[in-house]
Structure 1
Amino acid sequence: MWSSKHNLGRPVGTLSCRHVSVSIFPREREAGEKLAGSSSQLPKQNYEALLESCLRSQCLFEDDRFPATLSSIGCGPLLQKLPPRLQWKRPPELHSNPQFYSAGAKRLDLCQGYFHRDCWFLAALQALTLHQDILSRVVPLNQSFTEKYAGIFQFWFWQFGNWVPVVIDDRLPVNEAGQLVFVSSTYENLFWGALLEKAYAKLSGSYEDLQFGQVSEALVDFTGGVTVVINLEEAPRNLWDILTHATYNRTLIGCQTHIGERVLENGLVDGHAYTLTGIRKVTCKYGPKYLVKLWNPWGKVEWKGDWSDSSSTWELLCPKEKILLLRKDDDGEFWMTLQDFKAHFVLLVICKLTPGLLNQETGKRWTYTIREGRWVKGSTAGGRLKSSQGTFWKNPQFLLSVWKPESREGSLHPCNVLVSLLQKPRHRHRNWKPHLAIGFYLFRVGQILNDQRRLPPMFFWENTPLKQPVTFKMEKEVSQELWLDPGRYLIVPCTSKAHQELEFIIRVFSRKHIFYEIGSHSSVVFFMEIIDQNEGQDEFFTKLFEKYPEINAVQLQNILNHMTWSNLTSTKPFFSLDACQGILALLDLNASGTVSIQEFRDLWKWLMLCQEVFHKQDSHQLGYLNWNQLRAAVKEAGIVLSDDVCKLMLIRYGSPSLQIDFVNFVHLMLRAENMEDAFQNLTQDGKSIYLQKPEWLMMTLYS
């Protein structure tokens, strides 16, 4: 393993840096072991703790989870393409003035490596740079090689409903001349792209696992958006309108050429991914022309046909428009007509960042639901409808109710709904096991339905699906935009063949809906479909308490553990039964062992406040608060606690490492609020209270 001879970025003679191992706090270790059981997840690493440890020890971080060895490169054909004497070096060893990121750099500053085939990743990354705010979500831009430099960097990727941090050291593979083997920048001192690629390789298993992929996969991992793939051989007539709407809204767009591995005479590369960076309708002497602008991740090799940099067709434009559009730089970016684009490219991938981009509506609120599921052999892996009529009904079944929020009761105007089905990888290395072919069916169901039991085989024999897969796709994500009349529907996700095991998540976007799995113990939690806290609460409370007039601790646990915590981007919180019993005791004013609708309304408002305050103070989105953050959060929530009491509360409710997670934060805040109310009710002068023995016992046992 390569050993650094830099101490916080400064040469120190022959002093060799001591290896810093990865540490996991007790709660993180438990979570890490749980995740390790899933083949697709990385154990957590505490970036802040590792950084502080390195700074105290004056050592540069070395990541033993993704070491500077050939094992991180891979174990297949890629090894044969590497330079003979591969080395691993940190940016301060490669340049006298290394920079992590520069806002002043050109937009097209990334270059694909000579020994790697990750154009799909780089095309998606280039699309990401068109949106600075989204880029900064994936790439924290405040990292540097000077201030608090310890050889450790962190990036964020969206993984099946959660934003996941990935920690790496900054040792990068280079050849004998000190040139980066994989992604580099046209500016030799910029390294954010190379480090991001390393983090993505770690998430995927190795650099070799980035050899093959789809632009759509990387776009989802960078944004958490929903991708729509258009086959350009069957492109809709309004393709230009689709591109216009997508370009002028918050979308990322990529495309791919036909299968192959060669540079064509026209300058395009077969089997290659490109980024669509712009469109333009121009007026020529002979009428309008529709142009698209594309970028080659190689940073060179451009289209040579009409409207290329050297094409004579530019003379058809007025001088002003020609000057505005034409750039004769060999940077891999070029223009071509929409007609040529459809002829020479096979796929167009549009990643919608917000559900509001489904149509032209503006100022409209959208709701979002995510549900997890699993196909299990012999249980829930029923396969497709036609080939597995006897087992199709065993697939997971999800009930969807949609309606127009602004429409009167009984209105039958169509509702715009977007459904996305994502399959989780079956192996820690993303390319070791290919994706399965997946899809979903949509059925209309009546209003009378026992949502505690799955629909029997007879239902599927007697009812024809409204929507079904034309083909089952071996993609990470399949999605479809639907226009549905208000009503109730059944969504059945499945694999193309029965008995195939796989985990998945299914997401639904619409103006207003209810969505949950039939037959699951969590069906009570249909209210969490409404993520807009100010819209749909009345429907939620009414429907919930029509079914469950009083909620006990078990039902409360079910509700809280299936909530969509829209502001919590770290690990989803888990409320234990003990925690829910404690919460219930604080809310249960009449000692009935349950909470009423009014008591639950109060809890709901408090949970939303806790979520907002916790999210704001958890600036690094690690899922817990330290003492300073807790003190600030308590103060912002309007609760007055002295520093000493705040420290005691952290000891009482936090972990042994003096960190408090969201569940315990909720418990602490709720208890502090209730005790403050109790004091105000008992005091007469606002300064002191007098307690009789029963009151004193109740207060001490209560706290």
Structure 2
Amino acid sequence: MNTNSSTELLSNISYIIIRSLICTNNLEPKFLVLYTKPTFSMQFDTNGKVAQRKKEVLQKSFLISNGANRTDICQGELGDCWLLAAIACLTLNEKLLYRVIPPDQSFTENYAGIFHFQFWRYGEWIDVVVDDRIPTCNNQLVFTKSFRKNEFWSALLEKAYAKLHGSYEALKGGNTLEAMEDFTGGVTEYFELSDDPTELYKIMKNALERGSLMGCSIDSELESRTEQGLVRGHAYSIISLEECDEVSKDTRIRLIRLRNPWGFVLWKGPWSANSKEWSTISAADRENLKKQTIEASEFWMSFADFKKNFTKLEMCNLTPDTLQGDERNTWTVSVHEGRWVRGSSAGGCRNFPDTFWTNPQYRLQLYEEDDDPDDEQVACTVVVALMQKGRRMQRHQGAKFLTIGFSIYEVMCGQNQHLQKDFFLYTASKAKCKTYINLREVTERFCLPPGEYVIIPTTFKPHEEGEFILRVFSEKQSTSEAIYQQIAGDVSIGKWPDMQICANELKTILKNVLSKHNDIKSEGFSLETCRSMIALMDTDGTGKLNLQEFKHLWKKIKDWQLIFKRYDKDKNWSISSFEMRNAVNDAGFQLNRQLYDIIAMRYADERLNIDFDSYICCFVRLEGMFRAFNAFDKDGDGIIKLNVLEVRRSYFCCSAPLSIT
């Protein structure tokens, strides 16, 4: 296989497949480095800097040595403290950390010079593969590094994240919430500390106990130091909160522990390293607090000083109910993708009544109030999160974050038409975001009466184009499962001496891939189905699949899987033959009644259910049938005439199609 056709990094294909290709064929992994895809770049000021393999830096190296912790994150020359603050928070939750950095990777066993990392990206988890070439100067890492010189997980994680956004350059300056969200798939919120949010300490304490990630900063366009050692315009990680009794007073002092990714420039005020305040608490409390400060870049300060000195608190909750501290809550999560198109659907905010109504609109139904015995209010809690897509990656083209926000309007039950201009001229919004802001995401929490609503996501000004994802969290009949849905998994395969796979090899690979999916109940596909898959995707007529063809096949299976899950209401990994009609329509196949009857007779069991394996087999054959028909329909009139040879060829190409009428 031509490696030039594979330099498009396959973020949805298993890392183990790529690793096997490299090892089996004795390839250098440089065709997988960050800058091989046109939209990726390892640009940085050269000035003596080079990209070196780890073996060129140190012979004995580790991905993770003695566990990953905050001491492994030391900022280099890149201005990405916002990212490092989020990584430091990530190390506090081992489960989350190893979701981002899959285990069983090393510089020794099965080493191929590549590593993979997983990030949440606009509603799904994707795999990002990078090689181990890292920018260095005089044999020292230029960007993020570990305190241990032979440990490289933080540097490689930074590189993978740079690849996700297009280049290292794209990581200069950012918002900690972005990285927190990309590491968890959680929903983010931020607080202006000058507003003195009610019960802030309790909110933060509960959030930390439930694994939320938090950071803080002091607003400033440029980094500068305060008299007491804090850095304006710089991101800090929030590590913990504690309360202690003051010995000489009948009061309790609230303390907060912070971390500076720089590793120096620390707080010099009360409760700093050698301040007199430490003598006001018991020796036991003093020893306990100082024991928690495991490195020089961490420091304590009073919670009152925290609110006084910092201006912004950023919080990423793994589920929206994190702030509420009520584990009885469950949540329904819906995700909508959309775009604002100039002259069509980019209507701007309410200040522009002539075009506001043209914005995308999303219906929201809230019929059951929250289950909160301590709250007499009849209301439904809903969290709305509007995120703009791809702007950081487009920074090199001059793109900036748009100023975005949203409004919520109450409508009559059964309203399912696009609301027109007159409605907005005479109707006030029921709720809206506090402010329009030029960040990647704006999030608000509301308590709304039961009823029906329409959400209007907009840019501030009309005619501004962009793509977005709208997530709506409500407190009924769901869990946060969609946040942690894994799309692609690891798989072990045999040798591919020609870098192509036959039907038997495809069967083994897909069986191993599916076995790694907790959300897919399947023992794999039959050999006949795998032959049909190869007949469908084999564009070069070799009777085998190359890596690029496998990529397209895997995308097809993923897309069909999402449709299947939509109709698998009871999650038993089968759908009724009646629901199969809707699934077929959703996939874009328009069939007549006779074909629906044939599908039911061929694929449904005695209970009229179709399992996942049969469903995929059916879709593969439908895809082949339609592709064969379109190939012969030269004039596009929906009618074809075939001779005997053409019938035979279409039969084998689509592997026994259902019928051609």
Same fold, judged at TM 0.5 (above): yes
Deviations along 1:496-537, one digit per CA (max 9) or x if unpaired, are 11111111111000123xxxxxxxxxxxxxxxxx6569xxxx
8 Å Cα contact 1:531-1:566 kept in structure 2:
no
Q: Which of 389, 401, 405 is the aligned partner of 1:439?
A: 405
Q: How far, CA to CA, are the matches of 2:117 and 2:525 in structure 1?
A: 36
Q: What pairs up with 1:354-365 in 2 under 5 angstroms?
A: 354-365=319-330
Q: Which of 627, 651, 659 is the aligned partner of 2:507?
A: 627
Which residue of 1 is the match for residue 229 of structure 2? 267
| CA gap 1:322/1:672 in 2 versus in 1, 3 angstroms | farther
| CA gap 1:395/1:679 in 2 versus in 1, 3 angstroms | closer
Q: What pairs up with 1:152-551 in 2 under 5 angstroms?
A: 152-176=114-138, 178-259=139-220, 260-284=222-246, 285-286=248-249, 287-327=251-291, 331-386=296-351, 388-404=352-368, 413-426=378-391, 428-430=393-395, 432-449=398-415, 451=416, 453-512=417-476
Deviation at 1:566, TM superposition (A): 7.2
Deviation at 1:335, TM superposition (A): 0.5
Q: How far, CA to CA, are the matches of 2:447 and 2:62 in structure 1?
A: 49
8 Å Cα contact 1:22-1:64 kept in structure 2:
no
Q: How far, CA to CA, are the matches of 1:202 and 1:180 in structure 2?
A: 18
Give the counterpart letter for 2:91 in structure 1: T
Instruction: Determine whether 1:132 maps to 2:126.
Output: no
Deviations along 1:68-95, one digit per CA (max 9) or x if unpaired, are 99997766xx62xx5x321221222222
| CA gap 1:446/1:420 in 2 versus in 1, 3 angstroms | same
| CA gap 1:640/1:254 in 2 versus in 1, 3 angstroms | closer
Q: Which of 52, 56, 66 is the aligned partner of 2:20?
A: 52
| CA gap 1:617/1:340 in 2 versus in 1, 3 angstroms | closer
Instruction: Determine whether 1:110 maps to 2:73.
Output: yes
8 Å Cα contact 1:22-1:45 kept in structure 2:
no
Q: How far, CA to CA, are the matches of 2:283 and 2:125 in structure 1?
A: 48
Give the counterpart letter for 1:97 in structure 2: K
Q: How far, CA to CA, are the matches of 1:402 and 1:339 in structure 2?
A: 39
| CA gap 1:90/1:634 in 2 versus in 1, 3 angstroms | closer
Q: Which moved more, 1:93-102 or 1:638-647?
A: 638-647
Q: How far, CA to CA, are the matches of 1:213 and 1:638 in structure 2?
A: 40
- Give the secondary-structure state (helix, strand or coil) at the position aligned to 1:148: coil
8 Å Cα contact 2:335-2:471 kept in structure 1:
yes
- Give the secondary-structure state (helix, strand or coil) at the position aligned to 1:127: helix
Deviation at 1:436, TM superposition (A): 0.8
Which residue of 1 is the match for residue 57 of structure 2? 94
Q: What pairs up with 1:58-69 in 2 under 5 angstroms?
A: 58-63=26-31, 66-67=34-35
8 Å Cα contact 2:510-2:524 kept in structure 1:
no
8 Å Cα contact 2:39-2:166 kept in structure 1:
no
- Give the secondary-structure state (helix, strand or coil) at the position aligned to 1:391: helix
| CA gap 1:649/1:639 in 2 versus in 1, 3 angstroms | farther
| CA gap 1:160/1:323 in 2 versus in 1, 3 angstroms | same
Deviation at 1:205, TM superposition (A): 1.8
- Give the secondary-structure state (helix, strand or coil) at the position aligned to 1:425: coil
Q: Which runs of 5+ in 1 are unaligned?
A: 1-18, 33-41, 513-529, 534-563, 571-614, 681-699
- Give the secondary-structure state (helix, strand or coil) at the position aligned to 2:71: coil
- Give the secondary-structure state (helix, strand or coil) at the position aligned to 1:202: helix
Deviation at 1:301, TM superposition (A): 2.4
Q: How far, CA to CA, are the matches of 1:679 and 1:373 in structure 2?
A: 39
Two-structure CA RMSD over aligned residues (Å) = 3.9
8 Å Cα contact 2:218-2:231 kept in structure 1:
yes
Q: How far, CA to CA, are the matches of 1:136 and 1:416 in structure 2?
A: 31
8 Å Cα contact 1:304-1:310 kept in structure 2:
no
Q: How far, CA to CA, are the matches of 1:640 and 1:365 in structure 2?
A: 31
- Give the secondary-structure state (helix, strand or coil) at the position aligned to 2:445: strand
| CA gap 1:361/1:619 in 2 versus in 1, 3 angstroms | farther
8 Å Cα contact 1:120-1:215 kept in structure 2:
yes
Give the counterpart letter for 2:335 in structure 1: I
- Give the secondary-structure state (helix, strand or coil) at the position aligned to 1:149: coil
8 Å Cα contact 1:129-1:135 kept in structure 2:
yes
- Give the secondary-structure state (helix, strand or coil) at the position aligned to 2:278: helix
Q: How far, CA to CA, are the matches of 1:222 and 1:641 in structure 2?
A: 30
Deviations along 1:207-235, one digit per CA (max 9) or x if unpaired, are 12111101111111111111111011112
Which residue of 2 is the match for residue 38 of structure 1? none
8 Å Cα contact 1:204-1:430 kept in structure 2:
no
Instruction: Determine whether 1:146 maps to 2:26.
Output: no
Give the counterpart letter for 1:59 in structure 2: L
Q: How far, CA to CA, are the matches of 2:399 and 2:531 in structure 1?
A: 50
Q: What pairs up with 1:554-565 in 2 under 5 angstroms?
A: none
TM-score, normalising length: structure 2? 0.74
| CA gap 1:630/1:471 in 2 versus in 1, 3 angstroms | closer
Q: How far, CA to CA, are the matches of 1:366 and 1:199 in structure 2?
A: 31
Give the counterpart letter for 2:390 in structure 1: P
Deviation at 1:202, TM superposition (A): 1.4
Deviation at 1:66, TM superposition (A): 2.4
Q: How far, CA to CA, are the matches of 1:510 and 1:104 in structure 2?
A: 37
Deviations along 1:628-653, one digit per CA (max 9) or x if unpaired, are 25446699999999975565465467
Give the counterpart letter for 1:236 in structure 2: P
Q: How far, CA to CA, are the matches of 1:156 and 1:216 in structure 2?
A: 17
Which residue of 2 is the match for residue 697 of structure 1? none
| CA gap 1:672/1:391 in 2 versus in 1, 3 angstroms | closer
Give the counterpart letter for 2:447 in structure 1: W
Give the counterpart letter for 1:131 in structure 2: N
8 Å Cα contact 2:207-2:323 kept in structure 1:
no
| CA gap 1:294/1:672 in 2 versus in 1, 3 angstroms | farther
| CA gap 1:277/1:366 in 2 versus in 1, 3 angstroms | same
Q: How far, CA to CA, are the matches of 2:489 and 2:38 in structure 1?
A: 40
Q: How far, CA to CA, are the matches of 2:231 and 2:257 in structure 1?
A: 16
Q: How far, CA to CA, are the matches of 1:201 and 1:166 in structure 2?
A: 10
Q: How far, CA to CA, are the matches of 2:368 and 2:168 in structure 1?
A: 47
Q: How far, CA to CA, are the matches of 2:521 and 2:386 in structure 1?
A: 42
TM-score, normalising length: structure 1? 0.70
8 Å Cα contact 2:101-2:117 kept in structure 1:
yes
| CA gap 1:678/1:389 in 2 versus in 1, 3 angstroms | closer
Q: How far, CA to CA, are the matches of 1:209 and 1:309 in structure 2?
A: 36
Deviation at 1:618, TM superposition (A): 7.2
Deviation at 1:48, TM superposition (A): 3.3
The aligned length equals 547
| CA gap 1:673/1:360 in 2 versus in 1, 3 angstroms | farther
Q: How far, CA to CA, are the matches of 2:332 and 2:56 in structure 1?
A: 49
Deviation at 1:679, TM superposition (A): 13
